[in-house]
């Protein structure tokens, strides 16, 4: 394999690794979680207004957002347990 081709492959791997690392940071970022919470709240409020069955739309709509937030916090703990069992 000639050195130019090897250098290109190494450069491409480094570019890919940087992109993957950025994707990982985004997946666990509070910015992403907050955006999802806000969008979830807006969608649930709109849905509750549409079906008109909830008496306090704004308060009731916060429940799915809290559920989502709690699930993202607990999944890190669950993942560590899962990784420990996979490595054995």
Q: What is the distance between the alpha carbons of residues 23 and 15, in angstroms, rounded to a whole number?
A: 12
Enter the pTM of the model. Answer: 0.68
Is 56 strand, coil or helix?
coil
Q: What is the pLDDT of residues 23-48, one digit of tens each?
A: 989 988 889 989 999 999 999 999 98
Q: What is the pLDDT of residues 35-84, one digit of tens each?
A: 999 999 999 999 988 988 778 889 888 998 998 888 877 777 788 888 88
* Sequence-distant contacts of 39-44: CB under 8 A, at least 24 apart: 40/64, 40/65, 40/68, 41/65
- Its domain, for residue 44, covers 3-87
Residue recorded with tokens 């940087």:
18
User: How many domains is the chain partitioned into structurally?
Assistant: 1
């Amino acid at each position: 394999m000639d050195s130019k081709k090897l250098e290109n492959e190494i450069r491409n791997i480094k570019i890919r690794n940087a992109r993957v690392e950025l994707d990982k940071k985004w997946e666990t970022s509070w910015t992403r979680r907050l955006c999802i919470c806000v969008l979830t709240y807006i969608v649930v409020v709109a849905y509750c207004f549409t079906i008109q069955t909830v008496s306090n739309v704004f308060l009731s709509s916060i429940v799915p957002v809290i559920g989502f937030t709690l699930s993202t916090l607990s999944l890190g703990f669950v993942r560590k347990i899962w990784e420990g069992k996979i490595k054995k």
